[in-house]
Chains A and B, each alone.
Chain A
Amino acid sequence: DIQMTQSPSSLSASVGDRVTITCQASQDISNYLNWYQQKPGKAPKLLIYDASNLETGVPSRFSGSGSGTDFTFTISSLQPEDIATYYCQQYDNLLTFTFGPGTKVDIK
């Protein structure tokens, strides 16, 4: 089984700050990596697919990069509405999926 780790588990940043979250896979997953945002009390929402592709309608301050085992998710300028927990998720050709443990983002 592929295991996913994320760091940090939580962070506090000021409005306008650049925020970076990392996600690591236990083995090479190419670019089979997605990022989701879950606001409190809401269903998650897809932000980034295949490591670096912005889902339609998602603001351009969100971005993703990486391949293989190491991936990065960035918010270029943190906004109050970005308060949420962010999850990475890997998939494979056998249709199995694993989520990372999540990173909770707060405003300082």
Chain B
Amino acid sequence: EVQLVQSGAEVKKPGESLKISCKGSGYSFTSYWIGWVRQMPGKGLEWMGIIYPGDSDTRYSPSFQGQVTISADKSISTAYLQWSSLKASDTAMYYCVRHSQGAFDIWGQGTMVTVSS
């Protein structure tokens, strides 16, 4: 079964760092781009960025450039999304997605990140 399994929910304080993960299985992880999508509470979907695990080529949405870092470790079929200094406005559900010919055909279950003092 093709799936993306994300790490569990996180509760952090403003200013803390965080790295969440997304592990792919059931397909060739290095052959598909992996993206990240943010959904703030009660809001819509926002594309953040995308990485090609085969060579770590990474693209960011202008809205998220410099705010987060996307990386991947192809040896363990895992992509990451990280923050160096969290803000309360980073509170959201984060989904990793597999990109196939323009569409996000496989979605992770989501990781809820709560940032609160």
A residues contacting B by CB (< 8 A) are: 1, 32, 34, 36, 38, 43-46, 49-50, 55, 87, 89, 91, 94-102
Contact of A99 among B44, B101, B105, B109 (CB under 8 A): B44
Q: A43-B109, A101-B44 are in contact. Are A96 and B61 (CB under 8 A)?
A: yes
Q: Which of B12-20, B24-32, B45-53, B72-80 lines the interface with chain A? A: B45-53
* A46 neighbours in B (Cβ, 8 Å): 103-105
Given A91-B103, A98-B47, A99-B46; 15 other pairs, CB 8 A cutoff:
A1-B62, A36-B45, A43-B95, A45-B107, A46-B103, A46-B105, A50-B102, A55-B103, A87-B44, A89-B47, A95-B33, A95-B50, A97-B47, A97-B61, A99-B45
Which residues of A lie under 8 Å from residue B101 when comparing CB positions? 49-50
**Which B residues touch A91, using CB under 8 A?**
102-103
Complex CA distance for A24 and B53, rounded to whole angstroms: 33
Q: Contacting A87 at CB < 8 Å: which of B35, B45, B108, B109?
A: B45
Which single residue of chain B is at the shortest CB-CB distance from A85? B44
How far apart sit A44 and B44, CA to CA, in the bound complex (Å)? 11
CB of B103 within 8 A of CB of A44, answer no
**Distance of A99 Cα from B45 Cα, bound (Å):** 6
Pairs A–B under 8 Å by Cβ, sample size 5 = A43-B108, A45-B107, A49-B102, A96-B61, A102-B45
Chain B residues lying within 8 Å of A38, measured Cβ to Cβ, are 45
In whole angstroms, how far apart are the Cα atoms of A44 and B95 in the complex? Answer: 9
Please determine whether B110 and A43 come into contact, CB atoms closer than 8 angstroms.
yes
A32 in contact with B44 given A1-B62, A43-B107, A95-B59 (CB within 8 Å): no
